[in-house]
Amino acid sequence: MLRALDIEVEAESLSRSNELEEMHQKLEARKMVLGNMSRHSMLAVEDTKKKEEQLSIELRSLLVAGTALSVARKRLEESNRLLSTEKGYVRLKNLQKMLRRRQQHMISQVSLLYPVKFTMGPAQEQELDSFPNTSRSGNSARFKPANQGTLTILGLHLTMLPFKMMSFFTNKKEVQKSATALGYVGHAVLLIASYLKVPLRYPLRLGGSHSYIIDYGPSVEATSSDLSSNTVVSTDVKHVEFPLFLDGQDTTRAAYAVFLLNKDLEQLLNYIGVKSLGPRHVLANLKELVRTIQSVDYIDT
């Protein structure tokens, strides 16, 4: 009877011991969960502090920008108020005239540096044997000069013949002179564009008689599946340089470079309200550009 009671007590003790161990395990698991939650809470608090600091910086920047915007708006309102009065409009016109006079002076220096003149001799392939006189309205009245001369820049003719028919028998000196003349034109165009504050559509990389003109065009790469599915094809703008000379170059690329140079001249002519004289008249367009800017009408525009 006593033995059976001892066994029952031991069983009860073992059961309670197991329950206690299970409770300890649950307690440790809860402690671990609580520790993890505490760490996550600390990280969340730190992240919140960082975001609050960043938000505070952005708020200060916004306040500074708002203040600057308010000041700029007040200045704009003041400028509009001054401009709306007759005195303000007159002042604006005077400032514009001063700017154009300054442009005239700077571009007159370019014309002295690279003079475009008529010279006696047979008509060249590049230029007309008559010089067009174009008005600002775009109406051109062509007249033939008495000397039937051709245009030169700094004494050099610009002929397109070598650019079309390059061969072993081509006069190399003529090719070099044309390349030098194109270098002069390129430099003059670059200077005039900078004085007029006109970004050229086709920028120039000057190198004297070995200058280049840059054509920025989209490079499209599309697969047959793209074309069949009518998907939008992405384009990357890449630039290609074309030589304004023939030494070791392809004649087609060189001729295209001259065409782009004339497009820059056309852009400048259009900017001052004058039409281009044509795609083959580089020196004539340059002379017309300089002549128009140096005229009295340019100041009063």
The full set of domain ranges for the chain reads 94-299
pLDDT tops 80 at residue 17: yes
> Is the full-model pTM beyond 0.75?
no
What contacts 84, CB < 8 A, 6 or more positions away? Answer: none
Output the six-digit token pair for 272: 């001052």
In this structure, the number of other CB atoms found within 10 A of the CB of residue 273 comes to 14
We find that the CATH architecture of domain 94-299 is Orthogonal Bundle (1.10)
pLDDT band at 15 (very low <50, low <70, confident <90, very high): confident
pLDDT tops 90 at residue 164: no
The whole-number pLDDT of residue 154 equals 85
Q: Quick one: how far is CA 149 from the chain centroid?
A: 40
The whole-number pLDDT of residue 232 equals 45
Q: Is the Cβ–Cβ distance between 272 and 298 less than 8 Å?
A: yes
Q: Is 84 left (phi over 0), alpha (psi -120 to 50) or beta?
A: alpha
Output the six-digit token pair for 110: 């370019």
pLDDT tops 80 at residue 162: no
pLDDT band at 139 (very low <50, low <70, confident <90, very high): very low
pLDDT band at 220 (very low <50, low <70, confident <90, very high): very low
Cα distances from 183 to residues 66, 209, 259, in angstroms, run 49, 5, 14
pLDDT one-digit tens code per residue, 60-101? 999 999 999 999 999 988 877 776 776 767 777 888 889 989
Output the six-digit token pair for 243: 């030589």
pLDDT band at 202 (very low <50, low <70, confident <90, very high): very high
Can you tell me the mean pLDDT for 183-187? 94
pLDDT band at 142 (very low <50, low <70, confident <90, very high): very low
The whole-number pLDDT of residue 157 equals 82
The whole-number pLDDT of residue 137 equals 46
In this structure, the number of other CB atoms found within 10 A of the CB of residue 178 comes to 27
